[in-house]
């Protein structure tokens, strides 16, 4: 199991300042390290952070940022592609995403990136996310069924209105029944 880096152990405010310096293209990693150590000195901390630690942390944050950016791009592409598609396809995508997430979490635990102490909370979040997906998929299916029922009722009303009008116009009962079957069978 890997131990936390010296930067991970810093107070949140100090890490936030480091993040701001690392995001600023006008500030080099060496300058960010100097500013970080100066801030730690002002706070009375005896700890100093090496340039290598800042470099490793910056690389790790950039990797995380890149993965997040890629994840957002993939999500936007799929939502754009499936926006008008049946809900079942989106449900399959979400289910596959959950499987991938569970696999990645397992790999991170095996590699020591997650601790046994933090894992129960992560598993609990994954469980809640999975339950939410199930509920969304169920609600989506119910909506599709409800919309189909409404369309059937509308076709039935249209068929009855058409039959009434046709009867008043003198159309034969046989022709009216054939038209009614055609109207009601349009979506079947």
Comparing CA positions, the residue from 139, 135, 158 lying closest to residue 147 is 139
Residues 69 and 26: their CA atoms lie apart, in Å, by: 23
Same domain, 13 and 58: yes
Is-contact 187 147, C-beta < 8 A?
Answer: no
Same domain, 58 and 103: no
Residues 47 and 89: their CA atoms lie apart, in Å, by: 53
* Reported confidence tier of residue 108, pLDDT bands at 50, 70, 90: confident
Is-contact 6 51, C-beta < 8 A?
Answer: no
Does the pTM surpass 0.75? The reply is: no
Comparing CA positions, the residue from 168, 170, 165 lying closest to residue 183 is 165
Strands (E), 41-146: none
Residues 6+ apart with CB under 8 A from 68: none
Same domain, 49 and 103: no
Same domain, 104 and 173: yes
Which of these three, 35, 59, 84, is where a domain ends? 84
Helix, strand, or coil (residue 28): coil
Same domain, 185 and 105: yes
pLDDT at residue 84 greater than cutoff 50: no
Burial class (CB in 10 A: 0-12, 13-18, 19+), 105: middle
pLDDT, residue 125, reads 78
Is-contact 49 7, C-beta < 8 A?
Answer: yes
Is-contact 108 1, C-beta < 8 A?
Answer: no
Looking at residues 114-142, what average pLDDT do you find?
Answer: 77
Which of these three, 64, 84, 104, is where a domain ends? 84
Same domain, 106 and 160: yes
Same domain, 78 and 119: no
Same domain, 167 and 93: yes
pLDDT, residue 42, reads 92
Residues 155 and 44: their CA atoms lie apart, in Å, by: 78
Domain count of the fold of the chain: 2
Name the CA radius of gyration of the chain, rounded: 30
Same domain, 3 and 51: yes
User: How high is the mean pLDDT of the chain?
Assistant: 80
Show the domain range for 160. Answer: 86-188
Same domain, 93 and 80: no
Which of these three, 35, 51, 84, is where a domain ends? 84
């Amino acid at each position: 199991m890997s131990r936390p880096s010296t930067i991970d152990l810093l107070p949140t405010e100090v890490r936030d300042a480091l993040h701001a310096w690392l995001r600023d293209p006008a500030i080099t990693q060496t300058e960010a390290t100097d500013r970080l150590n100066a801030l730690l000195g002002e706070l009375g901390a005896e700890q100093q952070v090496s340039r290598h630690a800042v470099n490793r942390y910056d690389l790790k944050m950039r990797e995380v940022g890149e993965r997040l950016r890629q994840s957002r791009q993939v999500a936007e592409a799929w939502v754009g592609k499936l926006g008008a598609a049946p809900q079942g396809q989106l449900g399959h995508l979400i289910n596959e995403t959950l499987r991938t997430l569970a696999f990645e979490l397992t790999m991170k635990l095996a590699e020591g990136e997650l601790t046994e102490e933090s894992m129960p909370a992560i598993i609990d979040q994954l469980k809640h996310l999975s339950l939410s997906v199930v509920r969304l998929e169920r609600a989506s299916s119910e909506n599709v069924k409800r919309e189909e029922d409404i369309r059937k009722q509308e076709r039935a009303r249209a068929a009855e209105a058409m039959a009434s009008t046709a009867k008043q116009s003198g159309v034969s009962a046989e022709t009216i029944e054939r038209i009614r079957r055609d109207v009601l069978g349009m979506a079947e």
